[in-house]
């Protein structure tokens, strides 16, 4: 078990390192460079000044040297200094990560809290009009991109109800109501596809379990339908749904980039959005490492919890 | 026989609704099981024997009882509502299923599953229920029963899982045990152990048993009476020894002839019954067995044979008995069940031989 966790962590580190290298290289393929973005428009800039700025940012070194330096520093928890704000990337992330984690968690809770009951309902009322309409809702939820849903929500709430969420971020400790009001719409937009996926998966999984032999055994014992369903069928049908949650987290993290920007939430997502625009390489790379670490950790936790609900799963 | 039967299945009809309309899987089946009696229901796949067993407890998935009665202790189960039916299941009548590999919930320990069976019907504490579970596991021959409580089904072999199923079935000391091909999925050595265990516990718990099987060897070993199913109907029933020694229905005779026997079968080709059980949708007119019957003649395709009452508490659904003929079928001599059936058929007009065919 411990051996398994250690191995998974090492694999995770390898995955993060590979993703970092990949992102590092693709960033450099984007046209435009940071020095010109920062200085080119200033009148009377000399080539010497541009070179000096590039040297100050460490961009005069060969690419491989830059990459190795970043990886080496990142391993000790140092992601360098932001090209833009001149602050350590680590402290910027420390400030913004909790905001994104809150948003992501809210999105995950929404997808589970809505997806599970809807899936159970659809299975329980199989082939009814309710099941059919839930099917439509699910397919729509899976097909609509989350940023588009976010835009629709803002636009139509403003048009129909002349209401828009607060545009200045308040931390939960400062003003909980304002904080939650601002987070609610992006969290909903991020959670809908997860909700739809969970509902669909749970429906088919539960229908399959209800036809299985052990459910018949439970009925033959004289158990009421409530016990059959809640104690035995639902728990068994949740096993495949559970693995969906790990995948969800990836989608949610990716979705924050645009949704945080739309809703003016100063989290990791909007930070990545701005950093890419400004070619602020250390910030983008720092964010990638952190998102990678969150994703890998969540999936490890999901896999470990798997063993808690299903005793057949052994870690080796 | 037994003056007051425990279970009386009376003209039972079971219907399944399909995309092409309803299909009748069981067409007017009647038989009884007396207290502490073992009755075997035999027949090929698709003969309706498992459906009948499931119908007794109303555990049919997608099917429904469309006619007849299932009286247990005089009370008609077919007309009970779900709530009342739940009090019967696992309590008065318990069931053991065919496939022990998939019949236990993989996410719960076997202790939990036995305790659950007990506490659904008995107001006992969890602790007392666990003690009883240990006792049950011991009775079904599970080694180290106390430690086994915490085991999950996937940690047990097929035979052990079936032992757990038996423990669950016996938890509330039912008066009737329905065993639906309890050993079909097990290998032969385990099969013998499980049958012996069932038989032993049945005596100990003084419970009656309805044993569904397609294995004549199993029937011979533990059944008091045997009911032979074909095409959703009972074609013959009677005390086991008599039916096996002297089958009255050509189908029973053919079934018995298809059993390999060490003395005779070495060189002889094993006689199989030609054809397959007809689909429920297109049962032949007249006798349902007539297309496969070596003794069939014209009348068999026109006339539906009733169940004829024969001496010795036996019945048989064959036109051979029409003229009061008792033992119309000449059976393979027992004990060595040889391959050949002597030519029989209705008097005068039956040049049919049975050498090929059956």
Give residue B349's pLDDT. Answer: 39
Q: How many CB atoms lie within 10 A of CB A13?
A: 14
Write the residue in A212, A222, A309 that is nearest to B121 by C-beta: A222
Task: Provide ipTM, 2 decimals.
Answer: 0.84
For B205, counting Cβ atoms within 10 Å of its Cβ (0-12 exposed, 13-18 middle, 19+ buried), the class is: middle
Confidence of residue B268 (pLDDT cuts 50, 70, 90): low
Q: Does the pLDDT value for residue B348 go beyond 50?
A: no
Mean pLDDT of A223-243: 90
The DSSP 8-state label assigned to residue B167 in this structure reads H
**What's the structural domain count of chain A?**
1
Q: How confident is the model at residue B329 (pLDDT cuts 50, 70, 90)?
A: low
Q: Is residue A186 scored above 90 in pLDDT? A: yes
How far apart are alpha carbons A147 and A278 in whole angstroms? 22
Rounded distance between C-alpha atoms, residue A57 and residue A66, angstroms: 10
- Rg, chain B, Cα only: 21
pLDDT band at residue A74, thresholds of 50, 70 and 90? confident
For A312, the closest chain B residue by CA position comes to: B154
Which residues from B are below 8 Å from A222, CB to CB?
86-91, 120-121
Q: With a cut of 70, say whether residue B344 has pLDDT above it.
A: no
Domain positions in chain B = 100-173
Chain A, chain B: beta-carbon pairs less than 8 Å apart = 75
The yes-or-no verdict on residue A32 having pLDDT over 80 is no
CA distance B178 to B54: 9
Flag the least confident range among A72-86, B37-51, B214-228. A72-86
pLDDT for residue B262: 67
- List Cβ neighbours of A113 (8 Å cut-off, separation of 6 or more): none
Smallest CA–CA separation between B190 and chain A, in Å?
Answer: 21
Grouping H, G, I as helix, E, B as strand and the rest as coil, residue A268 is helix
Contact B283, B332 (CB under 8 A): no
Nearest beta carbon to residue A221 from set B61, B107, B116: B116
Return mean pLDDT, chain B.
85
Indicate if the pLDDT at residue B265 is higher than 70.
no
pLDDT at B313: 87
**CATH number, residue A200:** 1.10.3720.10
Q: Which residue of A has its CA nearest to B96?
A: A217
Residues of B in contact with A205 (CB under 8 A): none
Q: The tokens of B81 are what?
A: 């509502």
The answer to whether position A288 is within a domain reads: no
Contact A214 B82 (CB under 8 A): no
Confidence class for position B338, pLDDT limits 50, 70, 90:
very low
For residue range B292-325, what is the model confidence (pLDDT) as tens digits? 888 888 888 888 899 899 988 899 999 888 876 5
B176 touches chain A (CB under 8 A): no
What the block records as the tokens of B213 is 């099987």
Contacts of A224 in chain B (CB under 8 A): 86
Count, in order, helices (H) and strands (E) of chain B: 11, 12
Output the pLDDT for position B333: 40
Task: Produce one character per residue of B48-84: b if its CB has 16 or more CB atoms within 10 Å, e if not.
Answer: bbbbbbbbbbbbbeebebbebbbbbeeeebbebeeee
Q: Please calculate the CA angle B102-B104-B107 and round it to the nearest 5 degrees.
A: 105
Q: B324: phi > 0 → left, psi -120 to 50 → alpha, else beta; which?
A: left
Residue A192 lies in a domain: yes
- Which range, A33-47, B240-254, B329-343, is most confident? B240-254
A117 found inside a domain: yes
CB contact under 8 A, B99 and A213: yes
Backbone angles phi, psi at A154, to 5 degrees: -60, -50
Question: Which residues in chain B belong to E strands, given as ranges?
Answer: 7-18, 21-33, 38-42, 63-72, 75-76, 93-96, 176-180, 208-213, 225-230, 233-239, 308-310, 314-316
Range A32-40 average pLDDT: 75
Which residues span the domain enclosing A262?
97-269+305-309
State mean pLDDT over B57-76: 91
Across the interface, whether the CB atoms of A214 and B106 are under 8 A apart is answered yes
- Asked if B168 and A213 come within 8 Å (Cβ–Cβ), the reply is no
The pLDDT score that the predictor gives to residue B263 is 65
């Amino acid at each position: 078990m411990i051996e398994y966790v250690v191995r998974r962590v090492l694999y995770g580190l390898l995955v993060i390192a590979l993703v970092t290298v990949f992102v590092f290289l693709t960033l450099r393929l984007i046209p435009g460079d940071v020095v010109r973005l920062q200085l080119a428009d200033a009148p009377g800039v000399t080539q010497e000044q541009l070179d000096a700025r590039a040297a100050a940012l460490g961009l005069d070194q060969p690419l491989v040297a830059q990459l190795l330096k970043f990886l080496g520093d990142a391993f000790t928890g140092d992601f360098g200094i932001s090209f833009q704000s001149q602050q350590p990337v680590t402290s910027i992330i420390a400030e913004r990560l909790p905001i994104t984690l809150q948003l992501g968690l809210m999105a995950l809770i929404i997808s589970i809290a809505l997806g599970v009951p809807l899936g159970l309902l659809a299975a329980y009322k199989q082939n009814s009009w309710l099941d059919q309409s839930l099917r439509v809702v699910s397919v729509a939820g899976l097909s609509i991109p989350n940023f588009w849903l976010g835009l629709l929500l803002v636009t139509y709430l403003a048009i129909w109800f002349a209401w828009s969420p607060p545009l200045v971020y308040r931390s939960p400790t400062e003003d909980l109501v304002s904080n939650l009001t601002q987070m609610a719409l992006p969290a909903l937009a991020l959670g809908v596809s997860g909700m739809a996926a969970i509902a669909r998966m749970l429906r088919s999984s539960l229908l399959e379990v209800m036809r299985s032999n052990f459910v018949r055994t439970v009925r033959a014992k004289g158990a009421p339908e409530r016990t059959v369903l809640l104690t035995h069928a639902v728990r068994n049908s949740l096993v495949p749904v559970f693995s969906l949650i790990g995948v969800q987290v990836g989608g949610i993290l990716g979705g924050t980039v645009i949704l945080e920007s739309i809703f003016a939430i100063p989290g990791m997502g909007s930070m990545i959005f701005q950093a890419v625009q400004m070619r602020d390489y250390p910030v983008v790379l720092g964010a990638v490492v952190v998102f990678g670490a969150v994703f890998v950790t969540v999936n490890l936790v999901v896999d470990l919890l798997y063993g808690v609900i299903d005793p057949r799963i052994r870690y080796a | 026989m037994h003056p007051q039967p425990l279970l009386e299945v009376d003209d039972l009809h079971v219907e399944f609704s399909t995309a092409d309309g309803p299909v009748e899987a069981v067409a007017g089946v009647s038989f009884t099981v007396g207290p502490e009696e073992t009755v075997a229901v035999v027949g090929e796949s698709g003969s309706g024997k498992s459906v009948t067993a499931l119908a007794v407890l109303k555990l049919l998935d997608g099917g429904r009882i469309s006619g007849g009665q299932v009286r247990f202790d005089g009370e008609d189960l077919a007309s009970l509502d779900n709530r009342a039916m739940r009090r019967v299941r696992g309590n008065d009548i318990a069931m053991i299923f065919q496939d022990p590999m998939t019949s236990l919930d993989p996410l719960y320990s076997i202790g939990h599953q036995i305790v659950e069976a007990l506490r659904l019907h008995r107001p006992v504490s969890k602790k007392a229920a666990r003690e009883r579970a240990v006792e049950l596991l011991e009775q079904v021959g599970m080694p180290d029963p106390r430690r086994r409580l915490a085991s999950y089904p996937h940690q047990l072999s097929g035979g052990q899982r079936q032992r757990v199923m038996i423990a669950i079935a016996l938890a509330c000391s039912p008066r009737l045990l329905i065993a639906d091909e309890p050993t079909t999925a097990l290998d032969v050595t385990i099969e013998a152990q499980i049958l012996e265990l069932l038989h032993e516990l049945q005596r100990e718990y003084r419970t009656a048993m309805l044993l569904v099987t397609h294995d004549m060897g199993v029937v011979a070993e533990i059944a008091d009476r045997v009911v032979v199913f074909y095409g959703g109907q009972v074609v013959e029933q009677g005390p086991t020894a008599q039916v096996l020694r002297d089958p009255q229905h050509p189908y029973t005779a053919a079934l018995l002839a298809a059993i390999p026997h060490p003395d005779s079968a070495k060189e002889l080709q094993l006689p199989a019954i030609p054809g397959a059980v007809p689909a429920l949708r297109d049962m032949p007119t007249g006798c349902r067995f007539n297309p496969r019957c070596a003794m069939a003649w014209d009348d068999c395709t026109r006339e539906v044979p009733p169940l004829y009452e024969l001496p010795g508490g036996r019945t048989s659904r064959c036109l051979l008995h029409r003229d009061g003929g008792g033992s119309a079928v000449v059976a393979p001599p027992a004990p060595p069940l040889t391959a050949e059936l002597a030519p029989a058929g209705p008097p005068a007009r039956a040049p049919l031989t049975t050498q090929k065919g059956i």
